């Protein structure tokens, strides 16, 4: 069994204690420039915890110089010795346990991980559908971060960049495991629970300060800093904001982190929604931060501003309070902000406002209290406590999802299945991920099954990988490892295969493979060559251990390098193939220059697995993903398919032993050509993965997890990963019309459940009423189990397109065999509101709503209908200025920034593009069309006003002159003919025109 390390530097606890003591000594003699709050400062009022928070903040603010204030706006806030203000580092990673932190001396690129409780990945936490449990998880993570902070308060900051609230709109997203769900309600429920646990239960103080990532419209890695997510108002309010808003409203987070992307043509780092929307969701003070390098990106990647001082000023005015950039060096940030002040981009009042936000959270963390506040007593002995291990096991168990059990293989009878073959690349392996910590111990599936069966069982473990040798047909030499150092280059040298020229091949996902050398156990790696075998596991920021073995028509093979570039960028560059020189040197080149290899199979992994399975009472095939291979930060996926070699393993073992269980460990929905009759899914679930898996296989645990996103049948029918309009393109269970592989909310049980006697607290309600739904759920099976009861609604009539169904409430309940429980699910009628683009506000429409209760979004067991006496949205009035973005439908347009500061306009992406404004009341006749337009390119463009259809009757045409700049707007008018009555109005754009607003008078 190999222990996976996800960072370049780890330290045992004893070493960390030594460094902490050494740091304390250096502090005492003045060799380290970090002070402590206990440095006996002058007794200023801001030190008095008995004073109101605002008074304490204002007292401290009044004592700071301008330079000191500016220094507090950087991620690495240096100590202010004269006031006894300690160092403060913004941001520690704790997505599913304490993960890593930036090294204070060696900069952003050097991270340090410590051992801590590693819980299931975030998508696994959400798969429990148990907010109460996840709040406990968050509390433990908060405790352990406090413990790390006690060891090293400089390295381990108490602001936490977690949870991730990005919606899992597209499972191809490289960071899928970091989010919770494609559904905003489930996402916000889990984020609220986790954030509440992190924050602690004190009404005024914080255990740690959670920051929500990443605001907003971020769900692709491809060109993430350059791509713009088009979010029309309904998608923005009903979907994107809907995940963040409840968490902020519940005071379960202390701020947001801006995302890398642009939204409607404007970088989120300067999006006014941060200040105007997000801060309006709570009365608490928020401390908002940039993402790493985000401030620089505004100039150096996105080119949105010409100068950094202007960019930094725009960020501050948009509502960000901290600049995550330049590692621990605050100098450039202070310099840019100083320049912004001198040029008049900012005032000192602007600076003070952000400094107040920063100080507010630092005060609530107890930094300026003599005793450190109510959480200041937490020390390192809290890390990895036995009760934390117990909670981790329970969480891994509750996260398990039984996807299929068609033949009833599960659970296995431990009395009948005393010999078990456990096979597959993950049978004796656990993985963490980029935002995961270092596990203090590991229970693999093989370990868990052996422990469960004990001395009375026989458990055989087989990895099931093909062992091969690659012979270059030009030189007759085999691809051979020469050592484990980064300078020990792989060459073509052996003329007969030795262990140094033998490789274990695993296709993880799609056809992305890793090649592990048999002689040294290390992985083939390199930056486009030369290659070496220095990697213990695939990992790092630039994952260089990825290859594709391509079969050729003549029976030979090419090896393509599909790792990351580290010198010229972060993207994957295709068409780099392994080459072999006449002297045996190995590098990369074009496909035309690629070396052709004969692939000698030394031993067949499938044959070994089949042999073990054939002799066992039962077989368990453990397959899945490696979190760093084929998709991670900066790298999306093109397909969701499980690797071909793993699918072959499943098929062969199942044929050899019908009593086969397949365990799938992945970070995202996965497709397979084979259809396992018994399929148990878990994300990478931390130290207790094996205990949880073994418990479910043998019936000690009855799986009750549910998938939190649609498992599509494939990717062929999915739109572009850059298409964020879930309404028009039919994304997620809310709008998808196809038949999924597994629907949102799906999960089976060893028990069976019957739903009866659905009732509500009335047949109708007002727009501000409360709807209470009760249903009786009975365990009709022979085993105790848990059922996740889910309430969905569907609005029957609307002026606009509404979801097929939408999750409104859920409850995970435990039932003994024969037990019946009445489950009550509550929602407010206001929860049924949609964003009314005609008036730019929420509206609860008058309509009948189906109330759908069941075990998944597609497994509805009981339903009824309730009348909601909301409002009728009147026909549009286009006689007053109407924002162009508030259309009802469109074709071939982009949403763009009206100005750099605020506003969204519509831009024609092609001639003849259009936007529709449905059900417009034109009265006796509109005579004049007036619009605010811009056109950067030369020549004239045009806007046609058509009725009823994009090619319907032409009411008028306006000419749009070149304005020379996308932000230079002018008015254009046109006379109208025949524009009367209630009609659908189409605005048809030609010539690269931008339109911000218009009216028909």
Residues designated catalytic: 291
Q: Which residues contact 132 (CB under 8 A, 6 or more apart)?
A: 193
| Pairing mode of beta strands 618-624, 660-665 | parallel
Tokens of 60: 């401290």
Write the CA distances from 963 to 305, 939, 967, 968, integer angstroms. Answer: 20, 9, 9, 6
Asked if 280 and 252 count as a contact pair (C-beta separation under 8 A), the reply is: no
Query: How many CB atoms neighbour CB 30 within 10 A?
Result: 8
Residue 491: which of 504, 478, 507 has the closest Cα?
A: 478
Q: What is the DSSP string of 103-158?
A: ETTTEEEEEEE-B---PPPHHHHHHT--HHHHHHHHHHHHHHHHHHHHH-TTTS-S
The residues that bridge with 849 in the sheet, in sequence order, are 795, 866
Give the angle 463-466-467 at the CA atoms, nearest 5°: 105
Strand partners, 786: 814
Spatial distance between the Cα atoms of 998 and 1001, rounded to a whole number of angstroms: 10
Q: Which two tokens stand for residue 449?
A: 């099954």
Q: How far apart are CA 830 and CA 628, in angstroms?
A: 42
Dihedral (CA of 291, 297, 299, 303) sign:
negative
| Rounded distance between C-alpha atoms, residue 276 and residue 318, angstroms | 8
Q: How far is CA 835 from each of CA 78, 377, 408, 448, rounded to the nearest angstrom?
A: 45, 47, 46, 50
Place of tokens 């997510």: 229
Where on the phi/psi map is residue 82: left (φ > 0), alpha (ψ -120 to 50), or beta?
A: alpha
For the chain, the straight-line distance linking the first and the last C-alpha, in angstroms and rounded, comes to 75
Outline where DSSP puts E strands in 571-715.
577-580, 586-589, 597-603, 618-624, 660-665, 678-682
3-state helix, strand, coil in the chain (%, to 5): 25, 30, 45
Alpha-carbon gap, residue 700 to 704, rounded angstroms: 13
- Dist CA 776 CA 782 (whole Å): 18
b/e per residue 885-921 (b: at least 16 CB within 10 A): bbbbbbeebbbbbbebeebbbbbbeeeebbbbbbbbe
Alpha-carbon distance of 239 to 511, in angstroms, equals 34
Length of the chain: 1001
Dist CA 727 CA 165 (whole Å)? 20
Q: Which long-range contacts does 902-910 make (Cβ < 8 Å, 24+ apart)?
A: 902/272, 903/996, 904/264, 904/265, 905/934, 905/994, 905/995, 905/996, 906/989, 906/994, 906/995, 906/996, 907/989, 907/992, 907/993, 907/994, 907/995, 908/941, 908/989, 908/990, 908/991, 908/992, 908/993, 908/994
How far apart are the C-alpha atoms of 280 and 263, rounded to whole Å? 20
CA–CA distances in Å: residue 101 to residues 434, 617, 698? 12, 47, 39
Listed residue (351, 271, 345, 342) closest to 304, CA to CA: 271
> How far apart (Å, rounded) are the C-alpha atoms in residues 329 and 245?
33
Angle at 181 between CA 176 and CA 185, to 5 degrees: 155
């Amino acid at each position: 069994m190999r222990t996976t390390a996800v960072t370049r530097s780890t330290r045992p606890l004893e070493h960390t204690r030594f460094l902490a003591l050494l740091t304390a000594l250096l502090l005492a003699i003045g060799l380290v420039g970090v002070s402590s709050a206990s440095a006996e400062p002058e007794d200023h009022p801001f030190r008095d915890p008995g004073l109101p928070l605002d008074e304490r903040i204002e007292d401290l603010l009044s004592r700071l110089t301008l330079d000191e204030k500016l220094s507090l706006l950087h991620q690495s806030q240096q100590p202010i010795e004269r006031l006894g203000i300690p160092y403060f580092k913004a941001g520690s990673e704790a997505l599913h346990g304490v993960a890593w932190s930036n090294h204070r001396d060696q900069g952003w690129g050097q991270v340090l991980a410590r051992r801590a409780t590693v819980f299931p990945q975030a998508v696994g936490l959400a798969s429990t559908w148990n907010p109460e449990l996840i709040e406990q998880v968050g509390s433990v993570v908060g405790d352990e971060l406090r413990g790390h902070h006690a060891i090293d308060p400089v390295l381990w900051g108490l602001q936490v960049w977690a949870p991730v609230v990005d919606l899992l709109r597209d499972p191809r997203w490289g960071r899928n495991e970091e989010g919770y769900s494609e559904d905003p309600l489930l996402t916000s429920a889990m984020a609220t629970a986790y954030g509440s646990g992190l924050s602690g239960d004190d009404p005024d103080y914080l255990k740690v300060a959670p920051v929500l990532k990443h605001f907003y419209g971020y769900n692709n890695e491809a060109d993430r800093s350059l791509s713009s997510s088009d979010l029309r108002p309904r998608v923005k309010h009903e979907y994107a904001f809907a995940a963040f808003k409840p968490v902020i409203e519940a005071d379960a987070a202390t701020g947001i982190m801006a995302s890398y992307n642009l939204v409607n043509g404007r970088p989120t780092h300067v999006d006014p929604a941060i200040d105007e929307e997000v801060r309006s969701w709570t009365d608490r003070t928020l401390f908002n931060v940039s993402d790493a390098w985000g401030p620089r990106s505004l100039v150096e990647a996105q080119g949105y501003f010409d100068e950094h001082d202007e960019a930094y000023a725009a960020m501050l005015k948009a509502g960000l309070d901290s600049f995550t950039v330049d590692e621990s060096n605050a100098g450039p940030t202070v310099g840019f902000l100083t320049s912004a002040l001198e040029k008049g981009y900012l005032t000192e009042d602007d600076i003070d406002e952000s400094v107040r936000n920063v100080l507010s959270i630092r005060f609530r963390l107890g930094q300026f209290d003599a005793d450190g506040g109510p959480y200041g007593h937490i020390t390192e002995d809290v890390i990895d406590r036995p009760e934390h291990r117990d909670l981790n096991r329970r969480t891994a168990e509750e996260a398990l999802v039984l996807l299929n059990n068609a033949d009833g293989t599960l659970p296995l009878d431990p009395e009948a299945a005393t010999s078990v073959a456990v096979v597959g690349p993950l049978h004796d392996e656990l993985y963490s991920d980029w935002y995961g910590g270092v596990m203090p111990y590991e229970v693999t599936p093989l370990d868990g099954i052996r422990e469960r069966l004990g001395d009375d069982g026989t458990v055989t473990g087989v990895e099931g990988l093909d062992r091969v040798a690659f012979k270059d047909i030009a030189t007759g030499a085999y691809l051979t490892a020469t050592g484990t150092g980064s300078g020990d280059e792989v060459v073509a040298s052996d003329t007969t295969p030795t262990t140094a020229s033998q490789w274990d091949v695993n296709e993880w996902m799609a056809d992305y493979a890793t090649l592990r050398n048999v002689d040294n156990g290390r992985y083939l790696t390199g930056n486009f060559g030369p290659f070496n075998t220095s990697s213990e596991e695939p990992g790092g920021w630039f994952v260089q251990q990825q290859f594709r073995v391509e079969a050729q028509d003549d029976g030979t093979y090419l090896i393509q390098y599909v790792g990351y570039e580290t010198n010229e960028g972060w993207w994957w560059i295709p068409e780099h193939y392994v080459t072999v020189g006449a002297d045996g040197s190995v590098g990369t080149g074009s496909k035309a220059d690629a070396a052709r290899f004969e692939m000698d199979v030394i031993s067949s992994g499938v044959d070994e697995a089949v042999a073990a399975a054939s002799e066992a009472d039962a077989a368990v095939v453990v397959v899945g993903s490696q979190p760093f291979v084929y998709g991670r930060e900066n790298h999306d996926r093109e397909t969701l398919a499980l690797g071909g070699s793993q699918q072959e393993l499943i098929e062969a073992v199942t044929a050899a032993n019908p009593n086969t269980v397949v365990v799938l460990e992945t970070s995202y929905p996965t497709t397979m050509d084979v259809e396992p009759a018994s399929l148990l899914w878990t994300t990478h679930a931390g130290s207790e993965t094996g205990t949880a898996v073994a418990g479910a296989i043998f019936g000690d645990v009855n799986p009750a997890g549910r998938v939190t996103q649609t498992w599509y049948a494939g990717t062929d029918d999915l739109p572009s990963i850059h298409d964020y309009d879930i309404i028009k393109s039919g994304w997620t269970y809310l709008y998808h019309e196809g038949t999924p592989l597994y629907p949102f909310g799906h999960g089976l049980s060893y028990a069976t459940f019957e739903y009866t006697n659905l009732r509500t607290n009335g047949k109708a309600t007002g727009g501000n009423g409360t709807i209470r739904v009760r249903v009786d759920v009975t365990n009709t099976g022979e085993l105790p189990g848990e059922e996740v009861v889910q309430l969905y609604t569907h609005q029957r009539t609307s002026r606009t397109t509404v979801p097929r169904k939408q999750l409104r409430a859920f409850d995970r309940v435990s039932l003994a065999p024969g037990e019946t429980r009445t489950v009550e699910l509550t929602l407010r009628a206001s929860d049924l509101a949609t964003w009314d683009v005609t008036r730019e506000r929420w509206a609860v429409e008058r309509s009948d709503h189906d109330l759908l209760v069941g075990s998944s979004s597609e497994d509805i067991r009981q339903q009824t209908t309730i009348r909601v006496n909301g409002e009728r949205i009147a026909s549009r009035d286009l006689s007053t200025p109407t924002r162009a973005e508030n259309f009802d439908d469109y074709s071939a347009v982009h949403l763009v920034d009206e100005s750099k500061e605020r506003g969204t306009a519509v831009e024609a992406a092609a001639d003849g593009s259009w936007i529709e404004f449905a059900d417009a009341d034109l009265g006796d006749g509109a005579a004049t069309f007036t619009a605010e337009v811009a056109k950067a390119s030369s020549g004239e463009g045009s806007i046609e006003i058509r009725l009823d259809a994009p090619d319907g009757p032409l009411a008028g045409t306006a000419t749009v002159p070149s304005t020379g700049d996308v932000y230079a707007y002018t008015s254009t008018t046109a006379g109208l003919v025949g524009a009367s009555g209630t009609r659908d109005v189409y605005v048809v754009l030609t010539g690269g025109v931008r339109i911000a607003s218009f009216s028909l008078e």
